[in-house]
Structure 1
Amino acid sequence: MSVFSGMSRPMKAAGVALIGVAIIAAVIGGITALGGGDGSNEAGPSGTPTQPGTSSTSPSASSSASSPASTSSSASPSSPTPPSPSSPAPGQPTSAGPGQPGQPGQPGQPGGDQQASNKWVTVRVFNNSTIKGLADRAAEDFRGSGWNVNEVGNYSQGIIPTTTAFYRPGTDEEAAAKQLAQEFGIKAEPRFEGIQSASPGVIVIVTKEYQGAHKGS
């Protein structure tokens, strides 16, 4: 017996329509279920659910986006170039090399070091008076002040007016003789004819007026 038995024709038509609508709704629901719904539980490339608003790119992919070249280029400006050791810092004086002005202890330069250097010039002392041992006494005075006296004797080839330190012009003897003369209050002059060919060094000829205690500066 049919479910439509006992119903009028209009009611049968309405029942058929309702059944058709139900069938269509069921079909649409089944298609929707098979299609995965709204996609909120879809798996991303790594197999983990993709959350709304987050990137589906894996950490390894994002870290690989920074190339070594970009890293090195960004780090290089922060590494200052060290100054060259040979370049002096601004405002500091440069050191003078050997023999250049400004460095003490070089022969031929003024100052205390040069005066000490002059005292290494050979000095020979000769007595031109009748006072016995006068040359020895003068030599001791000179040595006591640091002078390099290596010979003491007598000079009997003439009469020297006053105690004098003789030198050869243009040599180290000149500066040494002038320093010695200033220190002991005696004269300093170029060598005269009678001693021109004598051995190198300052030649001091002392006379009777020499007083060792009367030293200069």
Structure 2
Amino acid sequence: MNFFSGLSRPLRAAGVALIGLAVVAAVIGGVTVLNTSGSDSENNAGPTTSGPPPSSGGPASSSAPGSSSAPPSSSSAPASSTAPSDQPGQPGQSGGQPGDQQGQPGGRPGQSGTDQQASNKWVTLRVYNNSLVKHLAEQAADDFRNQGWNVAEVSNYSEGVIPRTTAYFRPGTDEEAAAKQLAAEFGFDAQPRFEGIKKASPGVVVIVTKDYQNHTKGG
């Protein structure tokens, strides 16, 4: 005997109907709960990945605003040029050393004027008589010595006749300047050595003749 046995037919029918409605309501409620649960799950599901999307062709990194690296120098500083060890003289300076006397034959370098003339007097003089006047070479030698000249030899020359008193020198040597200075002081000639005396001992060879005057030029 169940619950419906003690009820009348109308009540029994109403109870069955209520039970049916309850079952339907339960089914509908369950379906609703399932749908609601699925919708919430779909809405709450987030993306599977996080982070910014990959860049498309842009630079891998960018500088912070306001900071920029200095641009490379467009040109390097010109290299300093080294002045040659051997440089030319400065403007206003001559190529030779101070005191050099350019183009003056004989003498000692660095002297001029009176000093140059005095320096020529160290050159050896060899005085020879080519006349019949006795001791004429000795007289001329004394005159030369009195003027500061260096007379090393006094003798006679008998290998020929010399037309006039002359001082002979070897060209390109100190003898040249000395012979010309001596000749200018005493008023006679100065010439290169001739063949007969080319091999004579070094020094200015002065061959005096009867035209020799025992005084300096203008004296």
Residue 112 of structure 1 and its aligned partner are, at CA, apart by 1.0
Answer yes or no: is 1:178 the counterpart of 2:180.
Answer: yes
Q: Measure the CA separation in 2 of the matches of 1:127 and 1:163.
A: 9
Cα 1:193–1:108 shift into 2, 3 Å = farther
Residue 135 of structure 1 corresponds to 137
Partner in structure 1 of residue 163 of structure 2: 161
Which residue of the partner structure matches residue 145 of structure 1? Answer: 147
Do the aligned partners of residues 167 and 108 (structure 1) sit closer, same or farther apart at CA in structure 2, a change above 3 Å counting? farther
* Aligned equivalents of 2:171, 2:101: Cα separation in 1: 24
What CA deviation, in whole Å up to 9, does each residue of 1:78-121 have, x standing for no partner? xxxxxxxxxxxxxxx9xx9676459xx94374311111110000
Q: Is the 8 A contact 2:129 2:156 kept in 1?
A: yes
Is the counterpart of residue 201 in structure 1 residue 175 in structure 2?
no
Percent identity between the two aligned chains: 69
Q: What is the deviation of 1:171?
A: 0.4
In 2, Cα distance between the equivalents of 1:153 and 1:164? 15
TM-score, normalised with respect to structure 1: 0.51
Structure 1 gap ranges (5+): 1-92
Q: What are the residue-to-residue correspondences of 1:87-166 with 2, within 5 Å? A: 100=100, 106-107=108-109, 109-166=111-168
- Aligned partners of 2:183, 2:110: CA distance in 1, in Å? 18
Q: CA 1:181/1:168 → structure 2, altered by over 3 Å: closer, same or farther?
A: same
Closer, same or farther: CA 203–216 of 1 in aligned 2, 3 Å: farther
Aligned residues: 122
Q: Relative to structure 1, is the Cα distance of residues 143 and 196 closer, same or farther in structure 2, using a 3 angstrom cutoff?
A: same
Q: Is the 8 A contact 1:98 1:106 kept in 2?
A: no
Superposition TM-score, scaled by structure 2 size: 0.51
Alignment RMSD = 2.6
Tell me the SS of whatever aligns to 2:201. Answer: coil
Partner secondary structure for residue 198 of structure 1: coil
Post-superposition Cα deviations, 1:121-178, rounded to whole Å, max 9, x if no partner, equal 0001000000000000000000000000010000000000000000000000000000
Compare CA radii of gyration and give the structure with the larger one: 2
Unpaired runs of at least 5, structure 2: 1-92
Q: Is the 8 A contact 1:135 1:206 kept in 2?
A: yes
Counterpart CA distance in 2 for 1:101 and 1:160 is: 35
Give 1:36's aligned residue: none
